[in-house]
Amino acid sequence: MKQCLILLTCLFTVSALLDAQEIECKVSINVEPLNAQAKENLADFLEQVERYINSHRWLDEDLGGEKIRTSISINFQASPRDNHYIAQVFIGSSRPIYKADRSTAVARIKDDSWEFDYVRFQSLSHNEYRFDPLLSFIDFYMYLIIGYDFDTYKANDGTPYFQKALEIVNRARGAAGAGRGWEINPQSNYTRAQLVDELLNPKFRDLRDALYTYHYNGLDLLYKNPSKARKNILAALEKVGKLQNKINQPSLAIRLFFETKHLEIADTFRNDPDQTVYARLAKIDPSHQATYKEYSQKNR
């Protein structure tokens, strides 16, 4: 009887953990550049990080069993001292397209500035109020990913999670050993602080409105009304283009949007009756005009 009770308790615990998961994250690591000792110290790192992300309850909302699909690829670059690591990280997320057999990439971010300490078998526990170079980095991106995901289903619905990411940025600024990437640096190609600052800045409201229109009134409508869906997507893209012209300065959030979406955008208009649309797309997103030109010629 006692063994049965223990078994039932374990099953309920596992079930509760599964129900708590709003994020399903796959983590991969590359440790090739490191020496043998540094590699050995990371023997349980991947498992620990996946468990930390996938077992924590990040949301107050109930997603009804849906998971936010996320991937993190960590390329270790150096270990300049014992237990200290420098890594380049790629973070990606996706969400399903309504009544389609495919998903759409929502965010794709490369971060070159992660430094942290890690000791094998150390406990990884979530703490909202303490800055930690290892865990706060992960927390920042989980909240960022959730914010992006929510914005695609309801306009500006991701704000509370972007604000949580901003709180981590603010804690980092006053923390010893926080490392690079937490400050707004005009000379840098990418910083966490700059990205979340733009996402919460009212002057970038049109970008976040466009995220919603592009996904919910665009991609999710393709199954029912492809023509209207493409018109909505084009309207969303033109709104982003006008915003870029209005602010008249480089925007990290806009650049990341088009880096994530340009191939999907080009493919979405593949069957559009008006193939001059590719010239409009190239004007909106000149950084990827070669892609739009390629698709316009491919469809002739």
Q: What is the mean pLDDT of residues 175-190?
A: 85
Domain stops at, among 157, 178, 200: 200
Our count of domains for the chain comes to 2
Domain stops at, among 182, 200, 218: 200
183 and 274: one domain? no
Confidence of residue 9 (pLDDT cuts 50, 70, 90): very low
What pLDDT score was predicted for residue 21?
59
Confidence of residue 179 (pLDDT cuts 50, 70, 90): confident
Q: Residue 258: CA atoms inside 13 Å, Cβ hemisphere, count?
A: 23
Q: What is the mean pLDDT of residues 265-277?
A: 94
Digit-coded pLDDT (tens) for 195-251: 999 999 999 999 999 999 999 999 999 999 999 999 999 999 999 999 999 999 999
Give alpha helix (H) positions in 184-288: 192-200, 205-216, 226-247, 252-268, 277-284
Q: How large a percentage of the chain has pLDDT more than 70?
A: 92
Residue 288 has pLDDT above 50, yes or no: yes
261 and 134: one domain? no
Averaged pLDDT of the chain: 91
Residue 300 has pLDDT above 80, yes or no: no
Residue 174 has pLDDT above 90, yes or no: no
272 and 174: one domain? no
Digit-coded pLDDT (tens) for 76-116: 999 999 999 999 999 999 999 999 999 999 999 999 999 99
Residue 176 has pLDDT above 90, yes or no: no
182 and 294: one domain? no
Residues 268-278 as b/e (b if ≥16 CB within 10 A, e otherwise) read: bbeebeeeebb
Report the candidate in 272, 174, 285, 156 with the shortest Cα–Cα distance to residue 216: 156
Expressed as residue numbers, the domain containing 251 is 203-300
